[in-house]
Amino acid sequence: MPRAFLIVMDSVGCGGAPDADSFFNDGQPDTGANTLAHIARECAAGRAEEGRTGPLKLPRLDALGLGAAIKLASGDDAPGLGAVPQGRWGAATEVSRGKDTPSGHWELAGVPVPWDWTYFPDTVPAFPDDLVAEVCRLAGTEGILGNCHASGVPIVNELGEEHMRTGWPICYTSADSVFQIAAHEESFGLDRLQELCKAIAPRLHAMKVGRVIARPFIGTPGHFTRTANRHDYAIEPPQPTLLDWAHAAGRATHAVGKIGDIFSMRGVGKLHKGKSDADLMGFMHGLVAEAEEGSLTFANFVEFDSLYGHRRDVSGYARALEWFDGEAAKLIVALRPGDLMLFTADHGNDPTWIGSDHTRERVPVLIAGTGTGEIGICAYTDVGASVAAHLEIPAQGPGRSFL
């Protein structure tokens, strides 16, 4: 039976979203944002030279059709990405009203989000009093710290010492539909933090807040470091997804990285989590070699987004892309006859853009193992339907196979 590997390069968008004018960063619409094209231009201009040099070099993904997908999606040229495609390629458009992780992944897996997410206002305080009171009750504290929009590293550095002194959890949000709680693994306790997040999650999910995220850290004042023990408590998808379809058909399913959290472990047979994208790539090499016949592997590589996109680090993003391209070449060579490997993304996060939020973009769709040719502009949901068609399992939802 054929196998399928669906790999999400978190935030690696290619511009051209038709509704980008209704999504914003620091009050500016996302019109014109293009993660890949703008990184390629910065590299070609010599403005992304930290830890790398010269034009953006992605020979394997470009051979599948990456440069062509950018041009198709947005009309933009990406210097250095001009290969004649040797795989199947296109670009996908999202319909869910969010440029976030759950929206993108669920829709790629066949289920558009049928509601509007709740976002907290960029005010101080950011959270309603009754929610704060419930967090305090569950935590057994007299108050919380933060209660604002913030980035994780700065707010831990700012409030970590007070947190250790008072025992109050640090609660913050972002432009995403999230409620994040940071706490010291030793003085507050990792288990206590995760239990707090798990306990408050149903209340946030009822409000249509997408995720409650536990953000543990360690260290001493002036030397705090976030750990790899982050855990996302995500609202469940409203309908069965690609993972559920495969599980119901009796297929083995493997979730690599954040996929288990994003889908609340629904349809996940085996979870593979690591401390870094390098760890996750190790799992991918193992799964390409050993995953069961007829199995589905669904992977997320988050560091493009978490380490470089939000921090507006063009050089870092380019380095990560070039590393990933080299690893992708090894994965593709190791595929068995009949395997499908599909590379895509969930949204954009243009590191040249204003602000620090995700950017509304189309995403590339690049496929190895199923011949060559353009698939054109498709829907996110067509990705899940196409993977299901390749696996020869029934699909649900609005997607249509492009295979």
122 in a known ligand binding site: no
Q: Is 88 exposed, middle or buried (0-12, 13-18, 19+ CB in 10 A)?
A: buried
What is the chain's alpha carbon radius of gyration, rounded to the nearest angstrom? Answer: 21
Nearest-angstrom CA–CA distance, 386 and 252:
18
Please state the φ and ψ torsions of residue 5, each to the nearest 5 degrees. -125, 110
Adjacent-strand bridge partners of 340: 4
Written as one string, the DSSP assignment of 71-122 is HHHHS---TT--PPP-SEEEEEE--SS--SHHHHHHHHTT----SPPP---S
350 in a known ligand binding site: no
Nearest-angstrom CA–CA distance, 378 and 362:
10
310 in a known ligand binding site: yes
DSSP 359: B
30 in a known ligand binding site: no
38 in a known ligand binding site: no
Residue with tokens 């994003």: 262
Instruction: Output the 3-class SS for 233-283.
Output: EECCCCCCCHHHHHHHCCCCEEEECCHHHHCCCCCCCEEECCCCHHHHHHH
Q: Is 45 exposed, middle or buried (0-12, 13-18, 19+ CB in 10 A)?
A: exposed
Asked whether the beta carbons of 393 and 251 are under 8 A apart, the reply is: yes
247 in a known ligand binding site: no
Asked whether the beta carbons of 7 and 341 are under 8 A apart, the reply is: yes
Nearest-angstrom CA–CA distance, 368 and 309:
26
Binding-site members are: 10, 305, 310, 346-347, 358
Binding residues for Mn(2+): 10, 305, 310, 346-347, 358
